[in-house]
Amino acid sequence: MSHTPPRFHWILDPLCGWSYAAAPLLETALERFPGQHALHFGGLFHGPSRRPVDDTWRDQVLVHDHRIASLSGQPFGDGYRHQLLRDPSLVLDSTPAIRRVLAIQQSVGADTAARAFNALQRGYYGHGHNITREDVLNELLAADRLWPEAAEQVWTNQSGADLQHHLSATRQRLAELGGQGYPTLALALEGQPWHRIRLPNFYGDKPGWQRFLNELPNL
């Protein structure tokens, strides 16, 4: 029996609707196990994977978003569905938001970074803010007081090589875990290998998730 709190490793992407579905689970886990989290990003839309939103893509995304909303209860606002996804200048690029969240994690810790990540996703999916733009990221993080001076310094000094190393390491870990994409959650219990948790089992089931978390210290 282990009495050491588990370590939560969240593999996410800011422009992934299923990561948005997991936001309530992440928030509850932060409350139950503060200081025991790490965020990892593989870059769903990074570099050559960046892409504009055309009519075909938008129609496919809206179908997935409807299913996500039905399963998780997460809101998708009119500004996102009817304005942002119809903006011809929108190019899906996860990198700017990833860089910001990593800077927060590296400077003040993963709990604040996780709250920033959720705030950015709420801004994007809930309100239709274009989080591929640096000015929008600045506004959203400043509004929630989630952009400390220390994060600014880390962000300024980030190198492309450091970011690429993080993305590559995350993709390798995702493959090792047998994860199907974003989000993937793995728990690290003392003296045990990482164990992948089936997050979809808990979408929209806050009581079930809370029971699961309450049982963890006794595993």
Confidence of residue 219 (pLDDT cuts 50, 70, 90): very low
What CATH topology corresponds to 7-218?
Glutaredoxin (3.40.30)
| Reported confidence tier of residue 217, pLDDT bands at 50, 70, 90 | low
How much of the chain, in percent, has pLDDT values that exceed 90? 91
Average pLDDT in the 128-142 region? 97
- Give the mean model confidence (pLDDT) for residues 50-72: 96
CB of 108 closer than 8 Å to CB of 151: yes
Is the alpha carbon torsion for 142, 147, 150, 152 positive or negative?
negative
Mean pLDDT, the chain, rounded, equals 94
pLDDT tens by residue, 100-111: 999 999 999 999
Question: Token pair 């810790």 is at which residue?
Answer: 109
Position 27, amino acid:
E
Q: Is the pLDDT of residue 2 over 50?
A: no
pLDDT at residue 79 in the model: 97
pLDDT in tens, 151-160: 999 999 999 9
Task: Give yes or no for a contact between 74 and 23, defined as CB atoms under 8 angstroms apart.
Answer: yes
pLDDT band for 3, please (50, 70, 90 cuts).
Answer: low
Model confidence at 11: pLDDT above 50: yes
CA distances, 89 to each of 5, 109, 137 (Å): 45, 34, 17
In this prediction, residues 35-51 reach a mean pLDDT of 96
Q: Above 70 in pLDDT, residue 142?
A: yes
Tell me, what's the pLDDT at 180?
82
Q: For the chain, what are the domain ranges?
A: 7-218
Indicate the pLDDT class of residue 218, thresholds 50, 70 and 90: low
Single-letter amino acid code for the residue at 97: A
> Would you say residue 1 has pLDDT above 50?
no
